[in-house]
Structure formats: C-alpha cells, structure tokens
Amino acid sequence: MSAHTFKANNPALKSFVEVKKDSDFPIQNLPFGIFSTSSDSTQDARVGVRIGAFVVDLAELSELNLLNDLDFDHSVFYENVLNPFIELGQTNWRATREKVSELLQIGSDLEKQLKDKNDKVLFPIEEVTMHMPVQVGDYTDFYSSIEHATNVGKMFRPDGDALLPNWKHIPVGYHGRASSIVVSGTDIHRPKGQIKPNDADSPIFSPCRLLDFELEMAFIVGKSTSLGDSVSIEEAENHIFGMVVFNDWSARDIQKWEYVPLGPFLGKSFASSISPWVVMLDALEPFRVASPEQDPKVLDYLKYTKKHNFNINLEVDLIPQNEEATTISKSNFKYLYWNMAQQLTHHTVNGCNINVGDMCASGTISGKDENSYGSMLELSWGGKKTLTLKNGEERKFIQDNDTIVMRGFCQNENVRIGFGEVSGKILPAK
C-alpha cells in the first residue's frame, strides 16, 4: 500500500483537538497505547490513542456508540494490553485508526457530541499513567547497524577484522529476556554480577562499573505463525503491528566477562525500556527510504525490492540529578544495514514460530560520525574519551541517579510523526 492510500495519513487533515506544531502526535499519527486514570492501579488500564497532549479513550468511544462501524468485539478496548486488539488482524487495526481519525476531524460526530455533553473521552496526558502496551512473550535483539558492529569489533578485536565473517550474510541476533522489558519512566537499579578487572587474575562480584544504554528501535509482532512455518520477505511487514523506541540497558563489564562462548546474558537481561506509544507502520509510510546497499549480495530469501527502512531521527539525552539535559547522540533509523523485513524473515526461516506481542529490537543504531554513536561504549570509545555535559560534569559511562531519555521522530515539510520518549533513571545497586 502506498502512503496516499491511507486516508488517515492525509497531511491536510485537521483535528478539533488542538495540537502544537512540534507535537509528535498530530492527527496523521494516532499511535496505540495502554493507559489508566488512577495512578495506583492497573485495574482500569485500557486502550487509548494519542492525539497532541491528550489520550483518546477507545473504550469510552465504544460506550458512546461511535465505533459501531468497526465490525468486531469492542471488549478488546477494555483490555490492559494491546495483544487481543492486535490479534484481530491488520484489516481491523487499519479500520480502527481510520475511524479514530474521522472522529477527531473538525466537524465530526465526536466533536458535536463533546459540545453537547461533557463525556470523558479525552484525558490530558499529565492526568494518565502509561503502562506496558503489550504483553511480550518473546524478545529478540538484533545487531543490525554496520557502524555499531564495526566500532565494537575495532574495540574488542583491535588486531582482527572488525566484522566477523557471517555479519554481512545474516541479520545476527540473540534471544533476550522478555520479563525485564519495562515501560518508560520505570527506575532501573544498577545491576550486580561477576566482573574481571583488567589487573586481576580472577573475577570479583560487584555492582556494574561500566553501565551503558543502547539506542534502538523495536517492532511488535502483529501476526502469529505456526511452528515450522516461515515468513517470506514479501509478507514480513504484514506481520508487524508497529514500532517503539527501545533502550537496551547494558552492563559492559559483566558482558565482557560472560559473553564468550554463548553471548549476552546478565549484562543485558536486567532491564530494557520502551516508549509507551506504538506507532503503526501505516503512519510511517511517507518516511520510507532505501536501506544501505548490501555487499556482498545476500541469499535469495533475504532479497527485497521494496523500501523497508524509515527516516526516523533519534536523539539521546543524559540528565544528571537536578541538572539540565545534554544531548549526547543524534542518530537515525535509516542507517540500519539489515531492515525489519529481513530480520523477521531470517528469524522465521528455520521454522521458529512467532506470536502476537513478541518484540524484536534493532540493535544499537549508530551513524558514521562520532556524534551519532548509539552507546556510551562508542561515545567514550571504551572509556578512553570523556563526554563533557552542560553543567561541566564528565562521563564515560552512566552514573547513579543519571537519567537517559531517548526520542524518535520523522519530519517532512507536511507533517511530524513521532514516538514520544523513553526515559529511565539509574538508581544505586540494591
């Protein structure tokens, strides 16, 4: 489907809800999330759509008989995760986004109804609590940025090839920990584990000393498969519901000691943070771009003809406690060597089944220049360089009480489509 096929993407659309020009959430976006209005409970958590500085309550829209055109059981809007809604399939997600778009336009039935009665449909964002948008059954982390993989290779294997022989032939990934994926705003305790100081003969047990972030995006699986089945490259995007910004927290010293021979474990599994609003691929249509050229040529099952990458600007802020933010990285999703369609196709080519709500992260997204590196490991080049913050403090890695904030947004002359932010504060080790 091309960008203009989706009526909800029309840049001329205007909402009766006031939306600031620099908002991530104009009427052309309409991402889905899970919100509640009583901060101490998830009992009333339900499905919402973001417009400007407000959340639209889809359960309430159903109560007002404004969603009668949607031919499915509206009880999915009362659920405290998006999984049952996503399971309804792509046709129904699209119909829901188009219907909400109609209702939010100037002169709509909803606008008239809200003028006549004080129905509680729109909630100011500061009055709601956001929750995990999906129940994540499985989580896979890829390693899809050639710039990041090259940087890490140079640091870890200074005398060898930066890229291992398989890297340009397969989208490298590993199975991660789903239970510790948390929504933006969740505090993270500094992890503990075994580390081996450079001057020591044996490891010690210690809180992590080299705590890092990884700037990533993740997609949420929208269509399940059966064990033994594979998803073709042409069908891959039909199995993707939408995307979030993803911070894959990393304990570099724990990781360095443990990762040979089986790869990431405690250095990664303590926490990953995601932005609360899931932006549908449909909303990103106007921002499709070609992926970097792949050389050598990939095997046939990974070959594609469509543009599967998106021009998503990414930013990372580091905020010391009670201080102002310093933007320490500006990158872009379009740099990824391996795109989402290739990732999902490769993931399933062996017959691995996927389920609605599964999450697949991109791996750290770095660009070519130093200001676009997507981790402290690269920004400080393994601790050899120092970052100076606005208040004069210096960092090589993340300190206790630092907050990391990541943002993602697309922008052209017509519209800005954003993801909001994912933030997390590091507390001392327990």
Catalytic residue numbers read 148
CB 315 within 8 A of CB 326: no
Residue 317 burial (10 A CB sphere; 0-12, 13-18, 19+): middle
Phi, psi of 150 (to 5 degrees): -70, -45
Q: Does a cis peptide bond (omega within 30 degrees of 0) precede residue 261?
A: yes
Give the chain's end-to-end CA distance (angstroms, integer).
Answer: 50
| CA 376 – CA 397 distance, rounded (Å) | 6
| CA 180 – CA 137 distance, rounded (Å) | 11
| Tokens (6 digits) for 217 | 């995006």
| Helical ranges in 213-324 per DSSP H | 252-258, 266-269, 281-284
| CA 143 – CA 343 distance, rounded (Å) | 10
* Bridge partners, 194 (sequence order): 205
- Looking at residue 62, the DSSP 8-state letter turns out to be H
Residue 294 burial (10 A CB sphere; 0-12, 13-18, 19+): middle
- Dihedral sign for Cα atoms in the order 364, 370, 375, 377: positive
Greatest alpha-carbon span in the chain:
76
SS3 293: coil
